[in-house]
Structure 1
Amino acid sequence: MKRCQLSVSVILLGMIWTVLVMLPSSLHAQNEPRHVLLLNSYHQRMTWVKNLTRAVENVLEPEKNNLILHIENMDAKLVFSREYFIAYKKLLAERYKGISFSVIISSDNYAFDFLRFHRDDLWPDIPVVFCGVADLEPYMLKAVSSFTGIEEAPSPRTTVEQMLRNHPNIKKIFVINDHLKTGNSWRRYILKELMDLESRVIIEHNIKEPIDRLHQRLLSLGDDTAVLLGVYFRDNGGQFLTFEKAGDLLTEGLSIPVYCLLAFNLRKGVIGGDVISGYFQGESAAKMAKRILAGTDVNSIPVIRAGANKFMFRYPELQRWNIAEDSLPKGSIILERPVSFFTVYRKYIIIVGIIIGVLFLIVLLQMMHIARRRLVEKELRKSRRQFSVLLKNMPGMAYRSVFGSNWLMRFVSDGSKELVGYSPEELLKDEGVSFSSLIVNEDRENARKTIDEQLEHCDNFSIEYRLQSSSGKVRNVLERGRYVKESEEEPVVEGFITDVTNLKNTQAELAALNQELEDRVQRRTAELETSLTNLRTAHKQLIEAEKLASLGGLVAGIAHEINTPLGIGLTSTTYLQERLATLENEYKAGSFKRSTLEKFMQVADEGLAAAVTNLSRAASLVQNFKQVAVDQTSEVLREVTLYEYLGKVLASLRPRWKHSSHTIELHAEEEAKETIVKTYPGVIMQIMSNLINNSLIHGFEEMENGVVKILLSRTNGDICIDYQDNGKGMTPEQKQRIFEPFFTTKMGSGGSGLGMHIVWNLVTRKLGGVIECHSEVGQGAKFIITFPISSDSGTKG
């Protein structure tokens, strides 16, 4: 039966394996491969084309990504006539009849121009990614769509800058290019790129001459000259040369540094440079093509104008010219570096190293284990000694008893002598004293029951009971223990019994003391509540007294202010009365004249005008004082135009600074000037009175020409009074305590210390607002009071 089950299992595993193996093939068959065309301008034998093709294959990975890569080589360096391109177009049309390409990659200018003119006839709207295109002009892409790619632009600037860093003594750079279309284009580009370096080095370009004569010229160059090799494949005599052969002929036997701009010139005698590489051109183009294959719109991929070039250097030339690798640009590629022993046998060295490391680790772990074991044994011996000493010195008895027995002891510490008057040996012997017999009879059964109940729920227990010692003395003890089940041994209970007689007595005394303390606290609390009530009453009386004192000062000032216009009015009427009596006497005596009447009328007009003006002023002062006084003595909520009311308040308070050099200015923002506020006007009066007194008494002490500026503004649904003076300011401590009751810098000189406390109290509690204080020594003081336009929400208490 088992053999049959095994056979069935093997068959099932075989079927599953077959399905797993066949599934990728079936899925692969369901997805038709996509076609990609690589159109090269030149022949596959060229190093440039070989490297470019290899890069495309490495990036696209045709077999892995189900792609068919078609490679076409135009060989346009050999044949580039119009008839050839027309015939080549017909060849491609016939060769790829019925094949739909997903993307086309072209290399170099001939293939690029061929696709610009013939792509839409051969493969309409198929995306084209070009690379290796030199002298790319905007008009070339205007008449075509779905084209993107990488421009082949040399990097003479970065190459020359690195050349000068590697050879600081260079004073002249000899640039080599042929005199064909591409060579002339490169010459112009290099000249433009190196123009601003001519102040540092001399830039010289080669002239039209055969290659052997050019080589002789290079051999004659001085030690302070370096060569920059551009594009050169045909000399002035018409001799065609491959890029590689041209580079070898030009650099042979040179004793001066040579740098290049094309990767295939990196041969013997050439150090390197920021080069155009067929591989990196192809790699960049293939990455763009891969994005298009993944679904990216070709028109959203911008043309790369620069950035496809790479710094590449030859290791032998770096050694020859003593150029350190860390001085080269980051990411530079080093060619022809010698292969080290480690590189050749890297795999075997790593395996041997791992084996040695594992063996060393095993030995190290074994040594650590032995050392740790010795340390643990040493610590265990030390712990046993410490435990023994600890048990002897602890004020109590440690024990081990059989679980479920009636305190049948298996171990008792020396603390038993002090606790119950018996030695451990006496409590352990069967014929000795039973520990349970030492428990007071009334506590024994309850203690056993409590221990059993606690051990039902957890492994620990704690209980208090009474013990009777050998001398008959009864002690209160606390027993704490836990259930222990060790393998191959009987279950036991281990614990510790401590004498808590003194603790119980202390607890009783503490309970009595706590009760007495609670009684004292209650009595003291009642006394403090009475004192607090008296203090609040006194505080309220002091505030009322401060307000009445302020009102008294206001009355005195107003009385003095009214006295002047009343005196002028009285003098004017008295003088008119005297002149009227004189006029009457003249009339009765018969000596009355017209001139006398006219003079009397003139005097009467002036006197009555003066009387009316001063009596009106007195009436206005009385009216303002009446309203302010009523507001200050009564707390009635009413609507006022705050700007006008503040003007009345300042008019009433004017006698306080009238005879000084100080001035008070009232301003308001346009929106705030007409704002009607529902508030307590008397509170506003009291606040402004206290603030002005504070400035006159403290801020302007021993100074002249003090200025108080009051600015009224609106902030959302609030009204803001910005009060500031240019007085002597406050120290940080004074600013911090400014609103504290009874805090004053004039203690003993008439200051009560309640003025600013009353201001804070009225703003926060009566107006339901906030007040901020800003001040520095010598910079004056500023108080910003903000409260609601409607004070219905303000606190009434």
Structure 2
Amino acid sequence: MVCRWVLFFWCIGVCVAPLRAAGASEGKDVRDVLVLNSYSPGYVWSDWKTKGIRKVLDAEGSSVRLSFEYMDTKRYKPSEIFDTLKEVYRLKYASVSFDVIIASDNNALDFLLLYRAALFPGVPVVFCGVNDFSRAMLKGQTGYTGIAEDYDLKGTLDLALSIHPETTHVAYISGGGTSSHIIRDQFESLIPGYASRVDFIRLSMMSPDDLKKALADLPEHTVILYLSYYVTPDGTRFTVAEGLSLIFEAARKPIYGIWDYTLGNGALGGPMLRVQEQASEAARMALKVLDGTPVDDLPVMRESFLDPIFDYTMLDYFDISMGRLPKGSVVINEPVTVYYRYKYVIWATVLFLIYQSVTIVVLMRIIARRKRAEEREKALEAQLRQAHKMEAMGTFAGGIAHDFNNILGGIATCTELAADEVEGESPVQEDLAQVLKAVNRGKSLVRQILTFSQNKDREMQPVQMRLILMECTQLLKSSIPSTIDVRLNVQAEAGFVLADPTQIHQVIMNLCTNARHAVANQKGCIEISLDAVELDRKASLRHPDLHKGRYSRLTVRDNGKGIAPENMERIFDPFFSTRKENGGTGLGLSMSHGIIKNHGGAITVASHPGRGTIFSVFIPCAHGVAAVPGEAAAAPNIHTQGTVMLVDDDEQMLYGTEKLLTRMGYEVAAFSGSLEALKAFRTDPMRYDLIFTDHMMPFLNGMELAAELLALRSDIPVVLCTGYQDELQALTPEVLDQNGISEVISKPFKRQELETILPGLCKANACNSSVASGGSLFEKSSAKTFR
């Protein structure tokens, strides 16, 4: 009791006079803030709270004047000191009007709830560090707001058990004091939920000696939960560092806490309450009140400012790896590495090296481009020289072609006349045959020179794209592996275009060759389509070379490896090729692009790596062009040898064979397509006495055509003709018999072969009878001969 009155009069004597002067000082714009702390200066909790408040309010400068009061309720119980403090504050602040009060912890809030009306009437209060807060605490009160301090005791326990799954016991330590009792009661309410998993050891309100002994006797797999240990039953007081050091030295077990200021003093970590951040947030709420926000408009915050924080020293001591910590954990006291000490210097060096590397790479690319440009210039010069050479050769060839062909024609005619005069068994016949071969080679050579050496614009003419496409497809099928499937899809309304057929042929073969290389060494597919499309004005937005109108569209699609994105913008550049090691020149697509552009069209491309490529060629359709008749007119059936249906998609072969069969005495109905032949046969199946068909043709090949014809008329003999030697091995007698094929002839064939085979299938008297009776008297030969 004596101590209380001594303290009372000492406070009056020391503090009243200065504060009266302060209260009388000028400064209408200065706002006064009282910070009422439950504990004493030097106590870690109080000091950290003070730092957090000052961090915010000191930034306001002289516009905020702070006053601090420490109630020292760790040393004195609230029931012992509250009345004395009330008298001290009444005398001390009788002439001071505060604008807001910040109350730290439960005891300060309890004091203001009891005495604010008498000491600081109407002054708004912002509290922080209040444990076990409930709305009932403010019942009947106004002008209070703040931050409720909610510890995550369950999260701390769960975290400790997850990092130490082998744990069998949890020891929790608690001392005296209001907050200590509240926290201990909260934790003990959680124990029943963990009773089946671990055993709990209560170390509460124990003397230092008893606590040391209990800690030394803890079981091996035990973790410690530090709730508080500031005041012992005999009145001994410990700082945070002293209490934690005592616990760690005695136990040497992992210690988990709930305040961040316990780290560095023996605590390992946990979901730590950031004391300074909580105090800073309370100061920010106080500033809002000072700026005019009604305190009752600011709700009480339940934000706990919790983060998983750990002490690297303790992690290293207990050999706990960083990977066992929860995601987003903060680790303090980690040794400063060279990187952290010199990271600005390191980053500056790295950036300088990157800059130097980029500069070197750019210079190297410039040099490489210059070299490529020089090489390209040399290549263009060589190409120009070659073009001049070819132009000169073309001029020369064009000048002598007429006379040279006349010379060859004379040689050929005389040779054939001589061959007719010479007996068949004479050795001279073979020599004359060689002369005719040489004549044909000379004629072919002149034609090739004229074709490949002249570089002049050809006259545009109506071209049926379908016919060129079929020819190209036939050539493509003959030159690619059998593992690649070539599919042709031609729409009937594709129509005509004004074009140079040779150049269009070149474009189609370039695109198909590229597709072949794209699907090389795998089971691939090349799909070639032809149709007509109507483009609107929006087409020019997608491609400047396309305008409104009707176009014939050629599409070449493959399922190969596709085009790399970085190469898409360069594929039409001259000399750009991804197959230079395999002989690619880089001119195919460039030339194709130029040809189509000169025809008033465009080439587009779409590609996905690993999924294939689609090239689309658009050529304007020609208007007012009449279709060419697709079928030759049939001559009257007046010959005695019979009527032969001749089917071959090669025009030269069709012409020569038709003329040869006519000279042999047969009536010939020639067709350049299998579908046209099938249509004609369906119209009048009894007209024909023999089918002479090529094997490799678009739409229906020879075998498929024979099957269709034999389904209409089973007695018609069929002669199959092929230029592929490999197919002869597959066409065994059994296969031919199953498909109704009478004979197979290999190209090129001679007249003698036809004279040997055809009369046996088509007898003169049978043909004459067929004409008279309207039926066929052919006898289907069962013998299969390969020639």
Q: TM-score, normalised on structure 1? A: 0.43
Could you tell me the TM-score, scaled by structure 2's length?
0.43
Q: Flag the structure with larger Rg.
A: 1
